[in-house]
């Protein structure tokens, strides 16, 4: 008998929700075959069996469990499952302290949440063995349906075997179909009666919005960062005149088949090269130790419908500027259509957050633990500067580096930021 544990599918994951079992209770599965669909704080993905066996469900579809909790057991032929009182879903101690993972240790208690609204009415025959059936729908379709308060049971699927896919949900949403939204679940914290039924006062009527799982994780991690990371900030103004000229040349020769690198792509490349020269900026502080990483993986903050998502450009220091441009566009597209996967959101060693497209001149970003630093990028605009004793207009950009003082001191961070500025002011180094 082999225990199947709730896997860690992203750096920030602390628990996961079983969306559906793809192998019924008592069914057989081979190594590498899809076993179930699991939703994390960032995305939903299919989990594959590590070995052959007969599947015995320990957790049901809709259950939310911490990392390391037992979700199923794989039995040998003729082997009987253990008695219910012997089964436990508590995560092993080893899972709470696994080395090399960036997320906080999971809680030892098992949390459960009800199935999302619109998913309990109709279910397909193969399921958790609890006498119910489950809507056949892709994880992305489920997510969009939850966000738009649509009843999946009322929809017809056009996917394989009648499976409801993204297009079906979007079509129903545009046609105004769907059931009356159910009251939002509050698995993490109960809403007081006064909050659940607010009375109009001096501030007017109150509308209560329940956070999504991703929003809850972001809120918690940002609060933890402000409470635990002794951060400091450094600001610099970068002369982007040469970068603007270089981008114009790249645009002229790129053609229609290849994307023209954006200024943000140049910033990602400059940061990646600088990170290679300053290992601590590419590391993290963990329990009185410096963890320095061999790979330079730059996260790029992308605004999604329900919050900020940070996909990762892996090995950005070794990629060409054109490859970074293509990968950044691919990742941003997957974030916006909801198809980004946990591996694409994990493994970042540094983050770039750019609000320049909104006209923001400068701002301070919060360090994304356990990373050592984050670069906040403001708008690129012509400004009056002095060159050779004369006042001229130059394309400039303000940036702010927020650093964890436990691993980067002021001088180290200043040299790192100066290197980024030098690479952007002489950008030919970015394409060599």
Is 147 found in the same domain as 22? yes
For residues 70 and 4, the answer to whether their CB atoms sit within 8 Å is: yes
Question: Of 174, 195, 220, which residue constitutes the final position of a domain?
Answer: 174
Would you state the pLDDT for residue 96?
A: 40
Is 286 found in the same domain as 160? no
Would you state the pLDDT for residue 210?
A: 85
Length of the chain: 432
Identify the CATH number of the domain in which residue 66 sits: 2.40.50.100
Is 406 found in the same domain as 257? yes
**Own/partner pairs for 25-28, CB < 8 Å, 24+ apart?**
25/55, 25/56, 25/57, 25/128, 25/129, 26/54, 26/55, 26/56, 26/129, 27/54, 27/55, 27/126, 28/52, 28/53, 28/54, 28/55
Q: Is 405 a catalytic residue?
A: yes
Residue 215 lies in a domain: no
Range of the structural domain that residue 19 is part of: 2-174
- Report residue 199's pLDDT band, with 50, 70 and 90 as the boundaries: low
Is 131 found in the same domain as 233? no
Residue 221 lies in a domain: no
Residue 120 lies in a domain: yes
On whether the pTM is more than 0.75, the answer is: no
Would you state the pLDDT for residue 109?
A: 34
Residue 213 lies in a domain: no
- Report residue 194's pLDDT band, with 50, 70 and 90 as the boundaries: very low
DSSP code string of 78-135: TPPPPPGGG---PPPHHHHT-TT--SPPPPSSPP--PPPTTSSS--BSSSSSSS--B-
Identified catalytic residue from 56, 57, 291, 405: 405
Q: How many separate domains does the chain show?
A: 2
Is 233 found in the same domain as 169? no
Identify the CATH number of the domain in which residue 363 sits: 3.30.559.10
Is 120 found in the same domain as 27? yes
Is 164 found in the same domain as 274? no
Residue 195 lies in a domain: no
Is 374 found in the same domain as 232? yes
Stretch 147-155: mean pLDDT, rounded?
83
Is 425 found in the same domain as 289? yes
- Tens-digit pLDDT profile for residues 57-72: 999 988 888 889 999 9
- Phi and psi (nearest 5°) for 406? -75, -20
């Amino acid at each position: 008998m082999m225990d199947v544990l709730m896997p860690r599918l992203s750096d920030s994951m602390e628990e996961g929700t079983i969306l559906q079992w793809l192998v019924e209770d008592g069914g057989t599965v081979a190594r590498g075959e899809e076993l179930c669909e699991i939703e994390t704080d960032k995305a939903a993905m299919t989990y594959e069996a590590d070995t052959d066996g007969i599947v015995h469900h320990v957790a049901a579809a809709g259950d939310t469990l911490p990392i390391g909790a037992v979700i199923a057991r794989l039995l040998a032929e003729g082997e009987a499952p253990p008695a219910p009182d012997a089964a436990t879903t508590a995560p092993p101690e080893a899972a709470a302290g696994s080395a090399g993972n960036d997320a906080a240790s999971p809680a030892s208690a098992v949390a459960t949440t009800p199935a999302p609204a619109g998913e309990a009415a109709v279910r397909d025959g193969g399921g958790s063995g609890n006498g119910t059936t489950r809507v056949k729908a892709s994880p992305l379709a489920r997510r969009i349906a939850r966000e738009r308060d649509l009843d999946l049971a009322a929809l017809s699927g056009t996917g394989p075997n009648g499976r409801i896919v993204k297009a079906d949900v979007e079509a129903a949403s545009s046609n105004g179909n769907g059931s009356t939204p159910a009251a939002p679940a509050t698995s993490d914290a109960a809403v007081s009666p006064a909050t659940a039924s607010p009375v109009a006062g001096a501030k007017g009527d109150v509308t209560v919005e329940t956070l999504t799982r991703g929003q809850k994780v972001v809120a918690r991690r940002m609060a933890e960062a402000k409470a635990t990371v002794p951060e400091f900030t450094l600001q610099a103004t970068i002369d982007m005149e040469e970068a603007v000229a270089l981008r114009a040349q790249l645009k002229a020769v790129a053609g229609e088949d290849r994307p023209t690198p954006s200024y943000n792509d140049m910033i990602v490349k400059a940061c990646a090269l600088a990170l290679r020269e300053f290992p601590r900026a590419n590391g993290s502080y963990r329990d009185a130790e410096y963890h320095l990483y061999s790979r330079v993986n730059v996260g790029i903050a992308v605004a999604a419908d329900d919050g900020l998502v940070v996909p990762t450009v892996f090995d950005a220091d070794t990629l060409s500027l054109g490859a970074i441009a293509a990968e950044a566009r691919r990742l941003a597209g997957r974030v916006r259509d909801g198809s980004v996967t946990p591996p694409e959101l994990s493994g970042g060693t540094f983050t770039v957050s750019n609000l320049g497209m909104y006209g923001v001149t400068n701002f301070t970003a919060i360090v994304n633990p356990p990373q050592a630093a984050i670069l906040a990028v403001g708008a690129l605009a012509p400004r009056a500067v002095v060159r050779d004793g004369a006042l001229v207009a130059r394309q400039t950009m303000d940036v702010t580096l927020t650093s964890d003082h436990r691993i980067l001191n002021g001088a180290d961070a200043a040299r790192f930021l100066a290197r980024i500025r030098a690479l952007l002011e002489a950008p030919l180094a970015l394409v060599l």
